[in-house]
Amino acid sequence: MNRRNFLAATTLALTGDFVMADLPKVGSLDDALRWLDSLDKAAGVKTTGQWPMVSVLEHMAQSVEMSLDGFPQPKSALFQNTAGAAAFAFFKWRGQMSHSLSEPIPGAAALHREGDWRPASARLRAAIERFTRHQGPLKPHFAYGALGKADFALAHAFHIANHQDEIVVQAR
């Protein structure tokens, strides 16, 4: 967690009865489903980042959906096969991703900025379940290029875990 998010989470914890989620870090898509279960049971959920919960969850759902349906604005094949592939290899080696938590997927539909986050949580859950059941080829990632299913599942888990850093839950 970066300093800004730590300070924001600490302020929430002191003033609004919110605490950093005492949940294991997402390391797989099964973990992500269990994490969504925990969010759904929480008294309240907020982000310490620039996006509201609904946007964060929609963004994660879009990423999983696009691995099945295609990314609208992929980077060039040269980028995917060089910098993009190197970035994913580094994240895989490190065991985690770090990226801008307020940067939308290029060309993706606009994210909702207001509203209940629970439908977005259900959308992410449905996207993960659809991805898990999927048997056919996957679409290339807009930056990393072609990934096998195991690597794409890992990329999705890393992506969700990175956003998990900015989520706090209300203590019951």
SS3 content of the chain, % helix, strand, coil (to 5): 55, 5, 40
Q: How many CB atoms lie within 10 A of CB 42?
A: 18
Task: Spell out the domain ranges in the chain.
Answer: 3-170
pLDDT at 124: 98
Q: Which pLDDT belongs to residue 2?
A: 47
10 confidence band (pLDDT: 50, 70, 90): very low
- Res. 103: pLDDT tops 80: yes
Q: What is the pLDDT of residue 7?
A: 42
Tens digits of residue pLDDT in 111-124: 999 999 999 999 99
Give CA angle at 12 (10, 18), nearest 5°: 105
What is the chain's mean pLDDT, rounded? 89
Condensed to tens digits (0 to 9), the pLDDT of residues 22-45 reads 567 899 999 999 999 999 988 889
Kindly state the greatest CA–CA separation across the chain: 50
Strands, sheet with 167-170, edge to edge from the N-terminal-most edge strand:
18-20, 167-170, 45-47
CB atoms within 10 A of CB 79: 16
